[in-house]
Each structure stands twice: as structure tokens, then as C-alpha cells.
Amino acid sequence: MRLVSSFLLMSASLWAGFSQAESPLSATADIRDSGFVYCVNGQVSTFNPQKAGSGLIVDTLAAQLYDRLLDVDPYTYRLMPDLAESWEVLDNGATYRFHLRNGVSFQHTPWFTPTRHLNADDVVFTFQRIFDRNHPWHNVNGGSFPYFDSLQFADSVISVRKLDNRTVEFRLRQPDASFLWHLATHYASVMSAEYADKLAKNDRQELLDRQPVGTGAFQLAEYRAGQYIRLQRNANFWRGTPLMPQVVVDLGSGGTGRLSKLLTGECDVLAWPAASQLTILRNDPRLSLTLRPGMNIAYLAFNTDKPPLNNPEVRHALALSINNQRLMQSIYYGTAETAASILPRASWAYDSEAKVTEYDPDQARARLKALGLENLTLQLWVPTTSQAWNPSPLKTAELIQADMAQVGVKVNIVPVEGRFQEARLMDMNHDLTLSGWATDSNDPDSFFRPLLSCAAIDSQTNFAHWCNREFDSVLQKALASQQLAARIDDYNEAQKILATELPVLPLASSLRLQAHRYDIKGLVVSPFGSASFAGVTREKEKGKQP
């Protein structure tokens, strides 16, 4: 989703210092000997996930370039140590203390050579930049940190301080039971304070978010906008040397083009294949297909700032016109669940009594007539590329267009390129937009506040432009308790408010799909979308010498 920034101005010369003359995509044999090709449809606007709301940097690259204080187990959905080997929750959840791991090296790149291991200074720098509006780095490349801005963390964090080289303490204005989960997302990737100091001395601060330095398993070696990204393994990775010397992330083709590359061996991994391609993928003995429940939601957002969609009755009438079962059959082919809430069913706070909006075009037509809206025309804005939550957004838009036409509503579809979508949506000229959300957090706060809080309007993640103070108050109440039962009650109340007001219409929670060549091993598919490539290897053919 979500941030248009100054990174769109990145020029080819910026990367000249570490680009190779030969395209790696033309040297397939070499790649198959030393790495693999990961094909995905996406764009890069920044190499810092803190500065993005979603997209390729969050879904794929951050897990390779960076680490966080905490991680999430892809099987149990529980918090795990990462850069922090242990942590303490104090003051009933208003203070959090992290004890850092020893001996973690930052990446050695052509643009930076670290002289020390990770320590508390790096963690303090990373989060002070995000939370402290007066920090000298806060406004570098724009003062927007969409995910954390939507959570109002700049107002809720009192301090981030170093207690000693291996201990960092966060103090909050009030208890927040979701805080650990937010620090386990890839938006909370830890940066190098030493690298930042070097850039500041050379007056090149903008490069921090463009030429990345992290502690992750892979580092950036080459980037060609719209074509590919080459990642080189970090020989000093603290978990052990990654098994593959390199990974090429192919950005150059979408739809059937990526499928063709997988079938011919030009791609080793196809991320987010279209559900319509499942039969081909399943029937090819050279391929393996993985499906897992996903922590994501696809939804239709109503622009509640714009008449007549500022009226909940109009929103409910339009919702009755959409044939969700047809969407399931024509878009997802059995790879998604019909959504009744903005929370996926896998969430521990999902309201089991939530009802999927019924399909009743006759009632929709009658309600619109009663409201004097028999000749309504609406603009539906839709991303042009497949998403984690929707493999075919344009086709989905066409089905919604046909459904609404049956009740007398004319829908004009406006295809929008992903990296420009956010800026245009925040101009508030749209009526409807197809969007979605995926997060590597199992806390429901990671869905509610970024998508629907009042603060998320300014952070450009609330596409409905919906602000409800009662809803925000319920979310704050849920954060104040460490008791799971109390939080579930609060989130059930929040879901009931959404069902009544309907600022967004939940459509589907998609399974996490991934296809890869049979000889690729160790690729763990995470329900949260991203997964490290560190343990991936290629099984050698029998009789073939390495």
C-alpha cells in the first residue's frame, strides 16, 4: 500500500557504484549454480521498510536486509527473540526493556564498512528517528513513517534510552499490550547508527533509506528499477552464513509472464501466483505448491468524506449489491475465505458472530431508490498489480462494476499504478477503492489502527477517511489491559461498530500461495507474507557435480 515519497526520484546514477554491467537475468546458468531467481510483481520506492506502508520492501526485501528486536514464529504465531535475546514487560505494559544479542555484525557493503557490532545506540537511533519529531533524522526523506504514524506512536512513546551497550528501554505514556507485536513487524527494522553518522558527516543523509545497511542475511548488490534486484549473501550474518551466495528478485514481468518464466526455469520461485494458475501449477511435476492461511484482508473502502458515501445507509445498500460468492469463485478459486470482519479468521480476536454481508440486489435497489439515488455514478480506484490479499484486483473491480450495474449504479473503474495510488487516494477524489492489508503481527491492533483509526487518515493508510472517536476509544481501552479476555471483549465491540458504520466492506482473507521449482529446498512460507531466504538451497541433480 502506501507511501509515495522522494524515493521515486532515485536516479540510475545513484546505483552506478554497485551495478553490474551484465544483467543477471541473462545469465541463468550462473544463477542456478550460485543462487536462485525469485519472481514477484512489485515496485520499490524505498529500501527502508519504516518509510513504506506496504509493498515489496515490506513483503519481501525487509526480511532479507534487516532484523528486528523480535520475530514471530510462522507456525505458532508466537513472539520469538531476534536481535533482542530477551525482554521484560514492566509497569503493567508501560515500560519495555530489551536485552540485545552479542556479536551481531552489520553488513559490509561498498558504501559502508562497520567498525563495531550492533549495540544499544543502533536501537535508540532507529526508534528515536521514528518517534521523536525533533530528532535530526526524523525529517530526512520526509517525516512520514506510515505504519507507526497510524498508531500515533510519536505521541505515545515518552523515551527510548540506552541503559548500557546491550540494554534498551522504551517508556510509554500509558500501557500498550500490542507494543511488542508492533516491534516484531518489518516496519521496525533496526538500522545502523554508525552508518547514519558517516552519512551525516558527508552531508548525504538521504542515502540511509536508499543504500541500505542492515544485519540481515542478504545485502543489496544491484538494483535496476523495474527490472530486478540482486541480493548478495552477508558472510557475517549472525545466524550463520546463508546457504545461497545470491538471490535475484525479478521485477520485470507480471501475470502469465511470471508463470511462463517459472515453467521454463527462468524463475525458481513464483511469489503470489494467481489463483487461476493453480491447476497448471499442481499438475506440473517439476513444481511444488505451498498454501498456508494468511494474515491478510481484502476490502472495498468507501470514501466516507464524500457524499453520498458519508451516509452509512448508502454504504449498506451498496454492500448488498456485491455477490461475494462469485468473487470467491472467479477471483480466488477456493484459495480464500469470505470475510465477515476486517480481522482474518486466524486472529485470536475474530468475532465468531460476525456475519458476511448478504447478497440481495433487489433490496439494494429498493434502498437506493428510497434514498433518491437511482442514477448514482461512482469512481472505483483499483491497483493494477496482484497483491497478497487479491491476485486479480482489476478483475475484481470488473465484477463489482457488473454487480452494481444490476442495481442501477454506474461504476467507472480507474486503474492506478501502485506507487501513485496513495497520493491520488489522499486527494479524496475517489468514491471507492479496492485495497487490502497484510501484516507480520498477530495482534489485532495491527489491523484496526493502521486501517481505520483517525490518526491513520493523516498517515495515509485509512483510505476510507473514516474517523470515529468511539471506535478509537475502544481501541485505546483494548491496549490498556494485559488480559487477553478483556482485550477480546473490546475488539468484539470495535467489530460491532464497524459492522454498523461499514466504512469498509470486508471481502476476503486469502491463503498465502507460493510456487517453486522442485529442486528449491528450505523455503518456508510465512502466513504473514515475508520469509527469510537464508535457509534456501538448491538440491543438486543426481550425478551432477557441485
Average pLDDT over residues 53-72: 90
Q: Is residue 546 part of a domain?
A: no
Closest CA to 296 of 513, 73, 532: 513
Same domain, 469 and 409: yes
Which CATH number do you get for residue 395? 3.10.105.10
Confidence of residue 205 (pLDDT cuts 50, 70, 90): very high
Q: Is 465 found in the same domain as 319?
A: yes
- Domain check: are 408 and 479 in the same one? yes
The answer to whether the beta carbons of residues 282 and 253 sit under 8 Å apart is no
Domain stop point among 156, 179, 208:
208
Q: Are the C-beta atoms of residues 428 and 466 closer than 8 Å to each other?
A: no
The pLDDT-based confidence of 12 (bands split at 50, 70, 90) is: very low
Asked whether the predicted pLDDT for residue 168 surpasses 80, the reply is yes
Give the pLDDT confidence score for residue 256 in this predicted structure: 64
- 3-class SS of residue 522: coil
Predicted confidence (pLDDT) per residue in 374-394, tens digit: 889 999 999 887 777 888 899
Domain boundary among 183, 208, 233: 208
Q: Which residue type occupies 66? A: Y
**How sure is the predictor about 19, in pLDDT bands with cuts at 50, 70 and 90?**
very low
Question: Checking phi first, is residue 265 left (phi over 0); if not, alpha (psi -120 to 50) or beta?
Answer: left
For the cut 60, the answer to whether the pLDDT of residue 87 exceeds it is yes
Predicted pLDDT at 6: 32
Residues 412 and 504 in one domain: yes
Q: Work out the angle at residue 123's Cα, subtended by the Cα atoms of residues 120 and 125, and round it to the nearest 5 degrees.
A: 105
pLDDT at 258: 83
Give the pLDDT confidence of 421-451 residue by residue, as tens digits: 555 555 557 899 999 988 877 889 989 999 9
What confidence category does residue 10 fall into, taking pLDDT thresholds of 50, 70 and 90? very low
Domain-located, residue 58:
yes
* Whether the predicted pLDDT of 37 surpasses 50: yes
Instruction: Assess whether 230 and 88 both reside in one domain.
Output: no
- Domain assignment present for 352: yes
**Backbone phi and psi for residue 416, each to the nearest 5 degrees, phi listed first:** -130, 130
Q: Which of 138-147, 292-301, 361-370 is predicted least confidently? A: 292-301
Higher pLDDT, 336 or 16: 336
Q: Mark whether 173 and 247 lie in a shared domain.
A: no
Lowest mean pLDDT, pick from 149-153, 298-302, 356-360, 489-493: 149-153
Write down the pLDDT at residue 26: 47
Q: Is the pLDDT of residue 358 over 80?
A: yes
pLDDT for position 445? 93
Could you give the residue ranges of the DSSP H alpha helices within 335-392? 361-370
Stretch 452-477: mean pLDDT, rounded? 93
* Residue 72 and residue 196 in one domain: yes
| 283 and 413 assigned to the same domain | no
The CA-atom distances, in angstroms, between 342 and each of 239, 354, 438, 489, 518 are: 36, 10, 11, 16, 36
Tell whether 311 and 458 lie within a shared domain: yes
Which one, of 324, 293, 291, 295, lies nearest residue 436 by Cα? 295
The CATH code of the domain that includes 1 is 3.40.190.10
Residues whose CB falls within 8 Å of the CB of residue 318, separated by 6 or more in sequence, listed in order:
302, 364, 368, 404, 409, 505
One domain for residues 46 and 173: no
* CATH number of 178's domain: 3.90.76.10
pLDDT of residue 78: 85
Number of domains present in the structure of the chain: 3
Domain termination site, one of 188, 208, 228 = 208
What gap in Å lies between CA 417 and CA 413, rounded to an integer? Answer: 13
Comparing 466 with 251, the larger pLDDT belongs to 466
Domain presence at residue 5: yes
Each residue of 259-273: pLDDT tens digit? 889 999 999 999 888
User: Does any domain span residue 472?
Assistant: yes
Q: Could you give the CA distance from residue 315 to residue 75 in angstroms, rounded to a whole number?
A: 37
DSSP string, 401-432: HHHHHTTT-EEEEEEE-HHHHHHHHHTT--SE
pLDDT at 11 over 50: no
pLDDT of 25 > 70? The answer is no
- Within 8 A by CB and 6+ apart from 162, the residues are 120, 121, 123, 124, 168
Same domain, 349 and 498: yes
Q: Domain residues for 179?
A: 67-208
**Can you spell out the DSSP letters for 436-499?**
EEE-S--STHHHHHHHHSSHHHHTT--TT----HHHHHHHHHHHT---HHHHHHHHHHHHHHHH
195 located within any domain: yes
Q: What is the SS3 assignment for 510?
A: strand
Report pLDDT for 313: 98
pLDDT of 167 > 90? The answer is yes
Which comes out higher in pLDDT, residue 150 or 119? Answer: 119
Higher per-residue pLDDT: 423 or 42? 42
C-alpha to C-alpha distance for 151 and 130, rounded to whole angstroms: 12
| pLDDT tens, residue by residue, 305-350 | 999 999 999 999 999 999 999 999 999 988 888 999 999 988 889 9
Place of cell 534510552: 161
Answer yes or no: do 379 and 528 share one domain.
no
Q: What is the model's pLDDT at position 9? A: 33
**Encoded amino acid at 357, one letter:** T
Average predicted confidence (pLDDT) for the chain:
88
Listed in sequence order, the residues at least 6 apart from 86 whose beta carbon sits closer than 8 Å to its beta carbon are: 98, 99
Average pLDDT over residues 56-76: 90
